[in-house]
Amino acid sequence: MSLSKVPKVYATALLELAIEANSVEATEQELSEIVNAFSEDESIRHYFLSPVVDPIQKEKAVFKAMSGRASEIVVNFVSLVVSKNRYLFLPDIAEAFRAGVDKLKNRSALKIISKESLSPEQKEKIIKTLTNSFKREFRVMETLDSHLIGGFKLFVDDYLIDASIRYKLDGIEEALLQKKIPVGAMYEN
């Protein structure tokens, strides 16, 4: 199996289990929190990536750390991933799972990139406009980019909606360059 297919295979299996158990939203939330916790703590990362630590010990550590804090599906799933030595794929599995849930719920990821944080009213207006245009819900992620002069960029699925000042200035520059200025024009005073 190609390494690039691994996250999708695991995510699809987890999605099927979550649908069966009618716990898609809870599974999505728990998996996201676990991946964040695992990626934030460097010592956890080193422990699960260490070839010295026995895979059975790693699996037991997952059970001990997560039992009672996450659903049985998520605990069993993460311990399976760890026991199969696929720990590095966990963030990609979570992303593939999220994509599967998005498809199931007719939802898309909306990434808003702006120079400064947008007000709640501005975000709501953007989301409402896009919901009417795309006929779906959105999972919103906001990112700040200090290189933008102003405005914002929106990424929805494979679309880019560029409402940045830089884009508008580039359009004006292109329009000015397209105009032909006659050579040798004479101006009278």
> What confidence tens digit (pLDDT) does each residue in 35-70 have?
888 888 888 888 888 888 888 888 888 888 888 888
What is the C-alpha end-to-end distance of the chain, expressed in Å? Answer: 78
Cα separation, 136 vs 117, in Å, equals 24
Cα–Cα separations (whole angstroms), residue 148 to 103, 153, 164: 31, 9, 7
pLDDT of amino acid 145: 92
pLDDT of amino acid 20: 93
Cα separation, 157 vs 18, in Å, equals 24
**pTM confidence score:** 0.71
How many Cβ atoms are within 10 Å of 164's Cβ, its own excluded? 20
Question: By CB neighbour count within 10 A (0-12 exposed, 13-18 middle, 19+ buried), where does 27 fall?
Answer: buried
